[in-house]
Structure 1
Amino acid sequence: MNSVTVSDPGGKAGPAGRWRPREALLAAVRGLALAVVGLPGSIILFVVTVVSIVLIVAGVGVLTTPAVLTALRAYANQRRLLAATWSDVRIPVPYRPFPPDLRTGITGQVERCTLMLKDPATWRDLRWLVVDVTGGFVTALFTAALLIYPVEGFVLAVGLWRVFVDDAYWYTFVPVDSQSTALAAAAVGLVLFGAGLRYCPDLLRLHFRLTAALLAPAPGQALAERIERLTETRHDAVDNSAAELRRIERDLHDGAQARLVAVGMDLGTVEALIERDPAKAKELISKARQSSADALTELRDLVRGIHPPVLAERGLGDAVRELALRLPLPLEPEVDVELPGRPDAPVESAAYFAVSEALTNVVKHAGADRIWIDISHSGGMLRIAITDNGRGGAEIGRGSGLSGLERRLGTFDGILAVSSPAGGPTMVTMELPCVLS
C-alpha cells in the first residue's frame, strides 16, 4: 500500500492550544479554497460518475467509466496530497493495481471497467464525494468563517450599524440597533477572531481527518492489503535475486572465466615453447598478462555491480556523485546530499541501484543535457529526487523501466512518484523508510 508523503513547506502546525496567527490565517485561506473549489468539483464528479455507471447498462458507460473513475481517483489523490501538505494527515492510496497483461481495445476497456468497479476504493471515493459536499464543505467553510465573520462585527462597530437603524440587525445573538450594541457585536467578533487564531489549523485538520475516515480502507481491509503487498514484494525480491544470480553467473562464464581459461592455455603453451622458441613464449606471456588484467577489470566491474566499493567505504552520497560523473552528458549533474548519517546497508544498496537505474533511463530515453539529484532524510524517510530537462512523457507501467524501479523500492516499502508532463521537465521522487546511523 502506498501513501502520500509530502512534507509541509509552510512548517508544522504545532501542538493544539498554541497561538498560531500565521498558520491560522493560512488555514482560513485554505479552508475557503476547499469550500469554493471542492463543493462544485465534488458535485460535478459525483453526478458524472453516477451517470456513467448507470449508462453501463446501455453499453456506453463501459467506455466512459474508466476515464471518469480515473479522474475521480486523481481528484481524491489531490485531496490526499493537500491533507499531507497542509495538515500532515496521511491518507493511504489503496487502489488495486491493474495486471501487467491488461489487453487493449474494447476488450481492455471492459476489463479495466470491471476491475475498477470491483475495487472497494472506488466506492469509498463515491461515498467521500457525498460527504465532501456536506460535512466536508461545512468544516472547510467554518475554518474560513471563523476569521472572516468577525470582520463584519468590526465594520458594524465602525458605523455600518447605521444602515440597519430602522430594522434590527442580528450579529450572532446580538441585535445591532445602536452604537453600544454595535460595540457589543465587535466584542463578540473579537472573541471569534481570537478563537480562529487559536483553532483554525485544528479545524482544517478536522476536515482532512473526516476525509481520511472516508477514503482510508477499514483496518481489516488495510491489513489484508498489507499482507497482499508483502506477498507481492516478497515474490519480486525472490525473482530479482534469482535474476541477479543468473546475471552474475552469465557475466562470470562469458567474461572473467573465459579469459582465465585462455590464460591457463597460454601458460601451458608457454611451458612447451619456452626452451625451443623463447620469442614466441615471450609473446604468449605478454598476451596472458593482458588477459589476466582484462579479467581483473571485469571482476572489479562485476563486484561494483553487486556492491560498489565506494558505496561500502564512503556511503550513498559519494557513490551517487561517482555514478553521476560517469554519465555521458555535456554538463556535469548537480548532486546535493544532506544526510546526517548512513542508512542500513540493504536500504543504502537499494537506493544506490534505484538511482543508477533511474539515471540510465534518463540517458537512454529523456534526451536531457542537465540532471539534478537531491538526497535528503527527514521524518524517517530517505528521499531522493532526480530531475532532468528532457522531453518528458515518462509513465509508470506499460513495460517501462520505471515499473522495475517501483518493484525494487516496493521490497523496502518504498514509494515512487513521477511527474513528467509532455515537453518536460521530469522529476522522479523515491522515498524509502529508514533510520540513519
Structure 2
Amino acid sequence: MTTSTAELPLPAASAPTAPGHRRWWRQLGVDTAYVLVGFPLSIAAFVLVVTGLAVGIGTLVIWVGLPLLALTLLVARGLAAVERVRLPGVLQRAVPSPVYRAAAPGASLVRRLVEPLRDSQCWLDVVHALLRMAVSIPAFVVVVTWWAIALGGLSSVAWEWSIPYGGDRENSTLPEALNLDDTATNRVLVYTAIGLLAALLLPAVVRASALLEAQFARALLTLRAGTQAQIGRLSEGRDAAVAAEAVALRRLERDIHDGPQQRLVRLSMDLHRAQRMIDSDPDGARSTLAEAATMTRETLEELRALSRGIAPPVLADRGLAAALAAVAARSPVPVELSVELPEGQRLEPAVENSAYFLVSEALANVAKHSDATIARVSVVREDGRLRVEVEDDGQGGAVLAPGHGLAGLADRLFAVDGVLVVDSPRGGPTRLIGELPCA
C-alpha cells in the first residue's frame, strides 16, 4: 500500500476554522470591544441606510432613485461584511459568507443596477442596518455602565476623598441609606464591595450583551449563507458519489472483460472442441472437458470475488462486523480485526457499505502493493461518528492522487459526508483512517 500524509478536505461548514476557547480575560476584551465598536457602527449604518432609502425611493419617479437604491444596498452589504468579520471573535466559530446575486457578463447598466434589488440577502443586510441599534444601544449602555461601576467601585479609595459631602440632606450617601455611619471608611468599604461584585459579574454580563448583539447579526447575515453552504455540500457529495460509482463501474467492466469474459470465451471454445472430438478422440474430449470444468470453477470464484466488492449478501444479512470478518478471512495478508459496535445495532446502509468498501479495498491494496506481513483493522463508533482504521507494516509511500484507487475511496466517503486521511511515509507503516457520520 502507498501514501504520503494526505487528507480529503472537510465540508466548509464542518471545517474547524473558528477560533478556540479563549481565556476569560481575553474573551472579556473581545466582547467589550465588539459592543463598544458596534454602537457607533450601528448609528452610522442606520443614518446611511435610512437616508439612502428615503432619497432613493423619493426620486424613483425620475429614475435617479434607482442607482441611489442600488448604492444604498451596496453600502448595507459592505457594513454587513464588516459585521461578519467581527462575529467569529464573539461566537468563537467561523461565520459563512453568502453568495450574492451577480448580473451576467455583458448585462446592461440597468440590469446591473436592478440585480442587487432582487437579492434577498441584500435586503436582509438592510434590515440589519435598520434594526441593529435596537440591540446595540442596550448592549452598549449595559457594558459601559457595568464597567463604570466595577472600575469606579474598586478605585473608590483613590477618589472618594475628593467628593464634597455635607449639607442638611439626609441619606445623601449610600452608607447613610444603608443605616451606616457616614464616614470615609464606610463609604470606601461600601463602594469597594459594590465594585468587587460588579467585577465578578462583569465577564458574564459583557458576554451576554455581546452574544445578544452577535446572535441578532448572525440570524440576519449568515443563516442564508449556511443554507447555501449546506446545499453546496450536498451538491459536492452527490458529485463525489457519482464520480465514485463511475470509477467503480469502469473498474468492474475492466475486471469482467479481463477476467471472467476471457475465461468464458475460452470455455466456449473448449466445449466446441470437445464436441467435435467425442467421436474421433474420446480421451482428448474427456481431457478437454476436465479442463473446462476447472475453468468453470475458477470463473465462478472470480465472479464471486467481484460480487463481494460490490455488496456482499453477508453485509445486508448479518451486518458490518460479520462482513468485515469475512473480508479479513479471505485476505492473503494476516489481519487483526477489532470491531467495537453495539451488539445487535445496525448502521445506516450507506455507512455500512462505505465502511465495508473502505476495508475491502484497503486490504486488497495491502495484498497487491505493500509487501506487508500483517494488517490491522479497527472499527469503533464514538461521538456520533464511525472511525475505520486500516494499518499495515508494509513499505508505505501511498499517495492520495486523483484517478487512483485511494481517491475513489475518498470520494465514496465524501459522498456520505465522511473524510479519509492517509498517512504513509516512505518505508511505512501505512494508515488509512476513515470517519463517517452515523448519528
Greater C-alpha radius of gyration: 2
Q: Give me the TM-score of the superposition, normalised by structure 2.
A: 0.48
